[in-house]
Structure 1
């Protein structure tokens, strides 16, 4: 064992957190590993360097879900950074959940409700539909500092609010899925109809087989000969499937035809409106939403 690591371990053992953090930081720069990541995060957290502890922890987040001790440390760091909702998301799949974690989250949520600006923060999130897209994005992010009960109550209303931007509604729904919520909720989809969903029964966006098929089709059609154009279409396609969540399969029955039209546009120019739910109808609707998002 090198001298630097030996000194770091001694400082850690003696709870000299500042010194331990400094020495583990040097070690982490030269020879990063899960173990050093854990020791560095613990030292930083105990030394009240919460932002840095969070940043380092995010380098190797999955390694914190392997045992009770590190789940507790992960939650402590999240809560120290006001990441209340993220604490729920990351522990949603931990079974059994350590009692200490439940207590930590309950205590943090109770403290959050005592803060003088709590009601204002809650109202801003609840009424985010009155804001511009940029402000809605900010309020969505800030809303993740709310206790789960309040976040869930507001989200239930926001998921059906026609003035919430589609990308924000989808982002909220993705959080509902990650939280594995079992309460049925209504969701206003892009066709302006309302559907009942249950978060715990939804697939994550990455789990949709069709997303991979669409990407493969794009790769086939453009190939490696024009990587810049391919990346542009890749970005557009990624935003399209995100906006269509959670009914991607319903909107895109034929991935090849979808990618062909994405690249080539309308084959027949017509003043007539496309048939509802047709490929042209969906892509025009998505194009309009995306133009509004970028201000184009």
Structure 2
């Protein structure tokens, strides 16, 4: 064992946390292993360097889900960084949670409700539809610091609010899916109609087979186009899929026609409005939404 790692382990055993963190950090630069990651994160947490601990933990997050000890450490770090919702999201993926987790989250949520600015921040999240897109995105992120019950109460209203930007509505719905919430929600989709959905029956975006099919077809159609052009179309397709969640299959019955129009545009230019739910109708609608998002 090299001298630096021995010194780090000695400092860890003696609970000299700041010293251990400094030595493990040096070790982590040369050997970013799972074990050193865990020791560094634990040392940083105990030294109250919560933000740095969170950043290092995110390098190898899945390794913290493998045993009770590290699940508890993961949740402690998330809560120390006020990431209440993300603690719920990650623990939703663990089949058998350590008993301590529920107590940790419950205490953190009680503490959050007692903060002087809690009601103001809760109302800001609840009423984010009155804001610009950039402001909505900031408040959406800040909302992850709310206790789960308050977040869900506000989210149920926001999912049907026509003034919430589509990308924010979808982002909220994706969090509902990750939380595996066994409740029914109404969701306003891009066709401006409300649909009934159940949180724990939703698929993640990565689970849609059609997304992979569309990406492969786009790659084939692009052929030998330059990499930058290919990346632009891939990015556009990815954003389209996100905005169409969770009804991607409903919007795109014919992937080849969809990809062809994405790359080539309308085959025939016409002043007539496209038929509702046609490929042209969807892509024009998505193009308008994306233009608003980028300010183009």
TM-score computed with the length of structure 1 as normaliser:
0.99
Deviation readout 1:177-202 (Å, 9 max, x if unpaired): 00000110000000011001111100
1:136-215 correspondence runs (5 A): 136-215=136-215
Corresponding residue number in structure 2 for 1:272: 272
Q: CA RMSD in A?
A: 0.6
1:247 maps onto 2:247 in alignment: yes
Offset at residue 224 of structure 1 (A): 4.1
Deviation readout 1:36-77 (Å, 9 max, x if unpaired): 000000000000000000000000000000000000000000
Corresponding residue number in structure 2 for 1:132: 132
Q: Distance in 2 between matches of 1:187 and 1:224?
A: 40
Deviation readout 1:216-238 (Å, 9 max, x if unpaired): 01110113441111100011000
Q: Secondary structure at the match of 1:197?
A: strand
The 4+ residue runs of structure 1 with deviation greater than 6 A are: none
Q: Distance in 2 between matches of 1:230 and 1:61?
A: 31
Corresponding residue number in structure 2 for 1:118: 118
Q: Secondary structure at the match of 2:223?
A: helix
Offset at residue 93 of structure 1 (A): 1.6
Deviation readout 1:127-159 (Å, 9 max, x if unpaired): 000000000000000000000000000000000
TM-score computed with the length of structure 2 as normaliser:
0.99
Q: Distance in 2 between matches of 1:198 and 1:34?
A: 36
1:33 maps onto 2:33 in alignment: yes
Q: Distance in 2 between matches of 1:155 and 1:106?
A: 20
Q: Distance in 2 between matches of 1:11 and 1:84?
A: 31
Judging changes above 3 Å, is the alpha-carbon distance between structure 1 residues 12 and 224 closer, same or farther for their aligned structure 2 residues?
farther
1:61 maps onto 2:61 in alignment: yes
Offset at residue 95 of structure 1 (A): 1.8
Q: Distance in 2 between matches of 1:219 and 1:119?
A: 49
Corresponding residue number in structure 1 for 2:108: 108
Corresponding residue number in structure 2 for 1:260: 260
Corresponding residue number in structure 1 for 2:98: 98
Deviation readout 1:93-134 (Å, 9 max, x if unpaired): 212111101100000000000000000000000000000000
Task: Judge which range, 218-227 or 51-60, deviates more.
Answer: 218-227
Total equivalences in the alignment = 296
Unaligned runs of 5+ in 2: none
